[in-house]
Structures are given as structure tokens and as C-alpha cells.
Amino acid sequence: MSRVPEWLGRLGHGLTEMGDRLDERRAEAEREEEVPPPDEPPPPPDDALPAAAAPRPDPAQAVPWGMRVAAEAGWRLLVLAGTVWVLMRVISAVQLVVLAFVAALLITALLQPSVAWLRRYGVPRGLATALTAILGFVVMGLIGWFVTWQVMENIDNVSDQVQDGIDELRNWLLNSPFHVTDKQINDIAENLREAVGANTDQITSAGLEGVTVVVEALTGILLAAFSTLFLLYDGKRIWEWTLRLVPAAARPGVAGAGPRAWRTLTAYVRGTVIVALIDAIFIGLGIYFLGVPMAVPLAVFIFLFAFIPLVGAVVSGALAVVVALVTQGVFTAVMSLAVVLAVQQIEGHILQPFILGRAVRVHPLAVVLSVAAGGMIAGIGGAVVAVPLVAVTNTVVGYLRSYSLEQTLKQSPRPRGATAADIAPVTPTDDSATKDGPADLG
């Protein structure tokens, strides 16, 4: 009994030694797996790996900087062009309404100072609006009636004079050194008659289209008159409602740009009316004293065409010269041309800079391009509104740029020792924003 525990003790001691030796061998095997054998070559460095295994750069970083800038600008220009194209399509679909509203804005800019003047003398807004609108529309109606009456009164006389002028031209051609024969002149007249007879259908359809144009013109006149009444009477509330459609972050800038744009438009319309009136009076007097028939209707046409910059003056002046040529002869036509050129030179170099001022000064290239683009898009109406639109846009963009710079400087940290006046931006002088004028449509 006493020898059994001793045997068990030796067996346990032997098992303990065997476990220790197994642990040592396991540790040695693990160390052999971690350390590579001496004859195995070391792994190659990272720069010795093949190109396919190297990490690829970001594609955006691989594109040259200039190409990235061009691509960024390109897709933005595409979005802008698409937006403008859609806007032009929408305007073309409702062209009559847009032109009528723009005409109402121009008429309102002309008549609104009269409403403000009556309001300063205590006249109620409704009565002031009614008096101004009635007087304005009556004056425009009388001008239209007077022109029509003058044309109808002188049409027979002008027709006879035109026939006499054609006969004189024919006699001059027969006796001229160009060796034109009577048979050649008769052949030209016969060809003209055949051309008119062959295009009778086109002429008839053009007449029908003319009737449609007259109906559309009457509709546009009614829309313009209706819009003018509401703009004169309730322009301020219309502007406040329009401001609510602008996002709140941009509303202060738009609220400041609106009155300046309106003053620019008012200055443009006033100046254009004064310049056109001076042109019509002096050119009309010149051709009247030269004995050109229908001098008064031609003066009215000169006044109306003056609202189309550059092109209108050329067309109206050429019309007066042609009438003088076919009715009074070459000498009277040359004298009429001299009168037209003299008045237009005075207008371009003295009247427009003095009356319009810097507020609505637009570069001649911008005038030509805007008139051409407006005429291509919307005909005569587009040519009339093109230049005031460019002038107003120029004013709005200039103000918003100055406003943005001012807000940026206000938000930037002020240098130590500097005052607000030291970092305030220098805003360019804008005559349209400083001269007395209405701050809104109301």
C-alpha cells in the first residue's frame, strides 16, 4: 500500500517532462516557419515590381490641368446654351405677349414721371393714372390719325409726281451715254409685269398674311394698353410680388438692382424720345423747305424709326431721300441727303451723349450686334427692345458685381487698425442710380 503513491509520482513526473519537450519542439517549428531558409532569395523591392502590379493613379489626376478646366467650362456652357435655347423657344411661342409687355414697360417708363408729378400735387393715384394714360393714348392716336390723313391726302399728288419722275428717268436713260434704247426699257417693263402676274398667288397669300399681322397687331396694342394701365397704377405691388419669387439669399441684391434698372430704362426712353423728336423736327423742316411732298408724314416716320438704333435712322433718311428723288429730282434729293446726314451727325455726336449720358451708353458694336440679334429673333419689335435690354442688363450686372464685392468685404475679417471706410469698395458712378427718378414702377 505504501509503494503505490511513489509509483504514481514517478509516472506523473515523466509525463510532465514529456509535455515540456513537446512544447519546446513546437516552438522551434514555429520559429523555423517564420524565418526563411538561408538559400531562399529575399523578396524584390516595391520599385522592382512590374508596371501591371503597380497601383494606378486617380484618372482625374492623370488628365492635364488645361483639359480639365476646358471640360469644366464646356459642360457649363452647354447647360447655359440649352437654357437659353429653351428660353428662346418659350419666348417664340408667346412672342406676341412678350412684345406687348415689353412695349408696355417702355410706355410706362415714358408716362410714369407724369403720374409721379401729379401725385406730388396731391392727385389720387387712380385719377393720376387715368389722366396720364388717357392723355398718352390720345396723343399717340392723334399722331397715327394725322399720318394716315396726310398720306391719303397726298397719295394722288405723289403718284402723279412719281409717274413724272419715272418718265424723266426714262428720258434721261434714252439720252444718257449708256446707250439704252426704248425697246430695252419696254422689255424691262414687260418682264416686271410678267413677274407680277406669275406671282399673283404669292402676292395674294402675302395679303392674307398681312391681314393676320394686322389682327395680331391690334391684339398686341390692346395687351400693351391693358398692361400699361396696371403698371402705372399698381407697379410697386407688382415689383414686390416679383421679389417674393426670388430666393431669399439673392433677394437683397435683386431689390437693389431693380430700381437702378428701372431708372436706366426711364432715362433711355426719355432720351430716345427727345432725340427722335429733334430729328423729326429738323429733318421735316429741311425737306419741307426743299419742297418734298408729304414732309409731315415723313417726319413722323423718322420719329418712329428713331427708336431702332442705327438702322432706323438709315432707313428713314433713305426713305426721305427716295421720295425727294422721284418727286423733285436729283438736286433736291442730294440736298435732302445733306440735311439728313447733318442732323444725324449732330444727333450722334452731341445730342445722344448729352441727353442720354453715361447711364445708358452702350458700345456701338454691342448696339449693332444686339439690334441684329433682336431683329432675327423677333423682327422689328426685337430690334426696338434690343438696345434698352442691353443697357438694363449692363446696369444690373454692374450693380450685382459691386454688391457681391461689398458683401464679401463685409464678411472678411477686418485688418487691425482699419476702419470700415478703409476697406469699403469703390462703386463706379452710375448716373442712372444717382439722378432723381422713381425707385420703382409705382
The answer on pLDDT for 331 being more than 80 is yes
> Cα 179 vs. chain centroid, distance in angstroms?
53
The answer on pLDDT for 47 being more than 70 is no
- List Cα–Cα distances, 153 to 47, 283, 362, in angstroms: 100, 21, 41
Give pLDDT, residue 243: 87
The pLDDT > 90 percentage for the chain reads: 1
310 Rama sector, left if φ>0, alpha if ψ -120 to 50, beta otherwise: left
Cβ-contact 267, 356 below 8 angstroms: yes
Give pLDDT, residue 222: 87
* 122 Cβ neighbours under 8 A, 6+ residues apart: none
Residues 304, 307, 313, CA angle at the centre, nearest 5°? 80
> Cα 296 vs. chain centroid, distance in angstroms?
34
Cβ-contact 228, 108 below 8 angstroms: yes
291 Rama sector, left if φ>0, alpha if ψ -120 to 50, beta otherwise: left
Give pLDDT, residue 437: 41
* Complete DSSP assignment for 357-425: -GGG---HHHHHHHHHHHHHHHHHHHHHHHHHHHHHHHHHHHHHHHHHHHHHHHHSPPPTT--HHHH--
* Mean pLDDT, residues 328-338 taken together: 83
Q: Say which residue the cell 425707385 belongs to.
A: 439
Look at the chain and count its residues: 442
Q: Say how far apart CA 98 and CA 88 lie, in whole Å.
A: 11
Tell me the three cell numbers of residue 141.
392716336
Residue 313's H or E segment, with its range, is helix 311-328
What is residue 33's three-state secondary structure?
Answer: helix
Residue 161's CB: how many other CB atoms inside 10 A? 17
Q: Say how far apart CA 130 and CA 238 lie, in whole Å.
A: 18
Give pLDDT, residue 426: 44
Tell me the three cell numbers of residue 270.
426719355
* Mean pLDDT, residues 351-375 taken together: 72
* Mean pLDDT, residues 265-271 taken together: 84
* 194 Cβ neighbours under 8 A, 6+ residues apart: none
For the four alpha carbons of 203, 208, 211 and 215, in that order, the dihedral sign comes to negative
What band does 253 get if pLDDT is binned at 50, 70 and 90? confident
The answer on pLDDT for 285 being more than 80 is yes
Cβ-contact 206, 82 below 8 angstroms: no
What band does 45 get if pLDDT is binned at 50, 70 and 90? low
The string of pLDDT tens digits covering residues 210-250 is 556 677 778 888 888 888 888 888 888 888 888 888 888 88
The string of pLDDT tens digits covering residues 90-121 is 887 888 888 888 888 888 888 888 888 888 88
* Mean pLDDT, residues 183-189 taken together: 70
Residue 415's CB: how many other CB atoms inside 10 A? 9
pTM: 0.64
* 398 Cβ neighbours under 8 A, 6+ residues apart: 428, 430
For the four alpha carbons of 305, 307, 310 and 313, in that order, the dihedral sign comes to positive
Amino acid at residue number 203: I
Give pLDDT, residue 429: 44
